[in-house]
Amino acid sequence: MRLILLGPPGAGKGTQAQRLIAKYGIVQLSTGDMLRAAVAAGTPVGLRAKSVMERGELVPDDVVVAIIADRIGQRDAKRGFVLDGFPRTVSQAEALDRLLAERGLELDAVVELKVDESILLQRIEKRVAEMSARGEKVRPDDNPEVLKGRLSAYKAQTAPLVDYYAGKGMLKSVNGMVAIDAVTGAVMGHLAPLVPRGGGSVRRKVKTRKTAKRPAAKASARRKRSAPKKRNKVGKAKNRTRRRLTRA
Ligand code: AP5
Ligand code: MG
């Protein structure tokens, strides 16, 4: 299963990603988390990203594309991944298309969490309260001023991805204004048809010769098992008729 979660800051991408990785045994690839880790570690990428993130702007495409290119090739991403916060520009989405095509991989779905702008400040404040309660350091971009910048970056640069993926027939939109469990239910409702019994994804399943042959093999086994019974029934009926005729 390979997915993208789309939505403005505070829409619930990280929250839903956590549930999807538990359900499908895939990994969460959050560019926001990776960049924050780079900032905390003081790496060259972190040094480049720090001030940009603090202003609520987008880190340059080449930086995040390089991070994702490296990350999707790692062993733990082989079973699948949920991209949380990537892509964020059409140019990132095109780069992702190329990265996947080079590896012979396909996306299964793009899930958009639809939320009213008016709820986002509350969501950010909720996260600040949750992180403080856990004794974690609050995100420097979780405040009303930076949220404005993040929102305008979203509208100008990320929202066009809704049309980009709708045009490819991949977009599934979900109401992100309801309770967290209800959002999860709606997301998984969209994904369920993509996951045949036994896991994996429909796209990958139909491509493997082994799985493509399985239904036919099962059907022929069923025919073999049921054929002798039919002959027995016919044979018994014939015998009964013969006995009746002899008696008469
Ligand atoms: P990133 O970390 O991706 O931040 P974001 O997109 O602004 O999104 P958030 O993490 O704030 O929100 P979320 O949707 O994950 O919500 P959450 O689940 O936590 O990016 C940060 C920065 O890094 C960017 O501004 C940019 O500078 C840079 N960056 C990252 N990726 C980049 C890229 N690809 N290109 C360029 N730059 C990039 O939920 C929020 C709160 O709401 C929580 O408290 C949660 O409990 C609550 N909540 C969630 N759902 C519900 C619900 N249904 N009902 C009630 N409460 C809910
Ligand atoms: Mg997040």
Q: pTM (2 decimals)?
A: 0.84
Residue nearest to atom 50 of ligand 1 (CA): 12
The CATH label, of 3.40.50.2300, 2.60.120.10, 3.40.50.1820, 3.40.50.300, for the domain at 2-26+79-116+158-195 is 3.40.50.300
Is it the case that residue 238 has pLDDT exceeding 70?
no
pLDDT, tens digit (0-9, with 9 covering 90-100), for 93-108: 999 999 999 999 999 9
pLDDT of residue 109: 97
Give yes or no for residue 7 CB within 6 A of ligand 1. yes
Fill in the amino acid letter for 230.
Answer: K
What ligand 1 atom has the least distance to the C-alpha of 85? Answer: 3
Give yes or no for residue 52 CB within 6 A of ligand 1. yes
pLDDT band at 200 (very low <50, low <70, confident <90, very high): low
Q: How far apart are CA 181 and CA 141, in angstroms?
A: 26
Percent of the chain at pLDDT > 70 equals 79
CA pseudo-torsion sign 207, 208, 213, 215: negative
Residue nearest to atom 26 of ligand 1 (CA): 58
Catalytic residue among 127, 203, 204, 205: 127
Phi first, then psi: give them for residue 209, nearest 5 degrees.
-60, -40
Q: Any idea which of 70-74, 101-105, 178-182, 237-241 has the lowest mean pLDDT?
A: 237-241
Q: Which residues contact 95 (CB under 8 A, 6 or more apart)?
A: 61, 65, 69, 87
Q: Any idea which of 56-70, 80-94, 114-128, 216-230 has the lowest mean pLDDT?
A: 216-230
pLDDT of residue 197: 63
Domain layout of the chain by residue ranges = 2-26+79-116+158-195, 199-248
